[in-house]
Structure 1
Amino acid sequence: MEKLLAAFQNASQNGLQSIAAALSEFSRGVADELARAKPRAIAASDDDENLPLDAALFDSAPTVAVPKHAKFEPLTEVGHRFLMAAQGVFIEVRRPWLHVIQQLTKLNEAGPRPPYGDIEPKIELAFGRLSAAVPYLQAFAEEARAALPNEHAAWIVWDQDKQQLAYKALHVSSSTPGSITFDRPTLAPHESLAIDVHSHGDGAAYFSAQDDADDTGEVKISGVLGGLGEGGTPSVAFRLCLLGMFVPLKVPADAVCKVPEPA
């Protein structure tokens, strides 16, 4: 009888443990489901049949409030989001080589202000400063001189595995003194475009309307080198492209376009 009672108690205990484990798993599943179903801050009726489309758009680029009292947690995953701050609306972008926060709109001083915290703009590069790319830009300048009078182009990519920049030559399909077309290379999963640079040959460096159109919607540093011909005055133009927003970057022309010394 004692053996039977002991066997019954063991079976009961094992059964209770199984039930407890099942209930714990169920609770976790319910919590995850509730988290996924958490309503977004979208001004639409919950029963609107098109709400899932807006929810998907919201999830791809959410809008969050900057905390006034708690510590601000920066974006850690690759992507972007909009920040509602006391000063106005900011955009925050994360790439393997970049973390940036820039103001999009400023609130009217006389108007109502949301009860949110302040945020400071920042541009943080994984490779430290843009000067880290100067050796690659100098190499490109030499290639661009060799391509005169036509334009030339190249990419400088960030290698996440090696934690360093790398020069990537492009296959140029067509090049003239006023235009260039090239095939966009397929990058490895650990590579991402950091700097897109092209030359204007003998002409001055500037961003044309075509450059604006090409750079809109991308996240990268864009650069132009000009005045590369013999006797020309070297010039450069650089900017950070943020999904249609352009932030000018100061780069000294003499550091990039070194004029070859006479033999």
Structure 2
Amino acid sequence: MEQLLNAFQNATQAGLQNIAAALDQFSKGVAEEIARAKPRAIAASEDDEQLPLDVALFDSAPTVAVPKHAKFVALQEIGHRFLMTAEGVFVEVRRPWAHIIQRLDWTRDSTAKSTGPIPPYGTVEEKVEFAFGRLGSALQELQAFAAEARAALPNEYAAWIIWDAQKQKLQYRPLPATSATPGSITFDRPALAEHESLAIDLHSHGDSAAFFSPTDDADDAGEVKIAGVFGGLGAGSEPDVAFRLCVLGMFIPLKVPAAAIFKQPQEA
């Protein structure tokens, strides 16, 4: 009887070990399948019927980011991929006899005809769209700033126009200066509620011309906003303005006629 009991216990233990091994293998298989099914970084809806074609293209020549802090690991398999870097797009090619990394010509000069590989992706049109419509929607706020900037002469003046996402409207907000002179102004950035964001950043140059200085370039770098400068505000001067869209260090000029803001009274 004791021998039978020992045999049963040994068989049971061996069975449990086999089950555990099978479960472990199953878990690894599921994890690998999930990793293979992980969606690619493609800007498309997951239920788009054409997405598998783009996935196949992506897998044939993927795009990867080159790390800024971690060590770059070169392509090991035979094939090629595109490298996104701080200096443009590079192509990396691996063959049994060569390993090549080269910057793509068209990332240096957008007007140059490409003679090298092109990432197998689609194209997109440039776009600038504001939730409040055209910049002219802020005319009332811009005129309010012009009046207050003139009142602050000879010193510079500053104000923000805030986008209120709850009310879906622009709101004018003067910025009390901590220091203001005819050539500079400093202020503490106001705290904004979660539903508020800076849309238009305004400052004046007093009676001087409207332009963006190197200091303005440094202040605007890294921000997403519309920046505006008002100048020629003194008596007898011709008012002028300068506007640009700031996009993380890229500046896009915006045409805003000063006459639309500084309306002259009609002659009788």
Query: With structure 1 as the length reference, what TM-score do the two structures score?
Result: 0.62
Unaligned runs of at least 5 residues, structure 2: 1-29, 42-61, 73-82, 90-105
CA shift at 1:155, angstroms? Answer: 0.2
Equivalent residue runs for 1:48-67 within 5 Å: 50=71
In the alignment, the residues of structure 2 paired with residue 32 and residue 159 of structure 1 have an alpha-carbon distance, to the nearest angstrom, of: 41
Give the fraction of aligned pairs with identical amino acids, expressed as a percent: 57
CA shift at 1:168, angstroms? Answer: 1.1
| 1:140 matches 2:163 | no
- Local SS of the residue matching 2:113: coil
Q: Which residue is 1:109 aligned to?
A: 113
Residue-by-residue CA offset, 1:234-257 (whole Å, 9 max, x unaligned): 000000001110000000001123
CA shift at 1:170, angstroms? Answer: 1.0
- Local SS of the residue matching 2:179: strand
> Is the 1:205–1:236 Cα contact (8 Å) retained in structure 2?
yes
Sort the Cα spacing of 1:34 and 1:251 in 2 relative to 1 into closer, same or farther, 3 A: same
Q: Which residue is 1:95 aligned to?
A: none
Moved over 4 A (4+): 30-40, 48-51, 259-262
Q: Which residue is 1:248 aligned to?
A: 253
Unaligned runs of at least 5 residues, structure 1: 1-26, 52-57, 65-87, 90-103
Count of residue correspondences:
194
Sort the Cα spacing of 1:43 and 1:180 in 2 relative to 1 into closer, same or farther, 3 A: closer
Structure 1 counterpart of 2:242, from 217, 233, 237: 237
Residue-by-residue CA offset, 1:157-212 (whole Å, 9 max, x unaligned): 10000111111121210000000001100100000000000001111100011111
Q: Which residue is 1:195 aligned to?
A: 200
In the alignment, the residues of structure 2 paired with residue 31 and residue 163 of structure 1 have an alpha-carbon distance, to the nearest angstrom, of: 42
Q: Which residue is 1:180 aligned to?
A: 185
Q: Which residue is 2:221 aligned to?
A: 216
In the alignment, the residues of structure 2 paired with residue 211 and residue 225 of structure 1 have an alpha-carbon distance, to the nearest angstrom, of: 13
Structure 1 counterpart of 2:167, from 154, 162, 168: 162
- RMSD, aligned CA: 3.9
Sort the Cα spacing of 1:176 and 1:33 in 2 relative to 1 into closer, same or farther, 3 A: farther
User: Which structure has the higher relative contact order (CA within 8 Å, separation 6+)?
Assistant: 1
Equivalent residue runs for 1:66-105 within 5 Å: none
Q: Which residue is 1:41 aligned to?
A: 64
Q: Which has the larger Rg? A: 2
- Local SS of the residue matching 1:139: helix
> Is the 1:226–1:234 Cα contact (8 Å) retained in structure 2?
yes
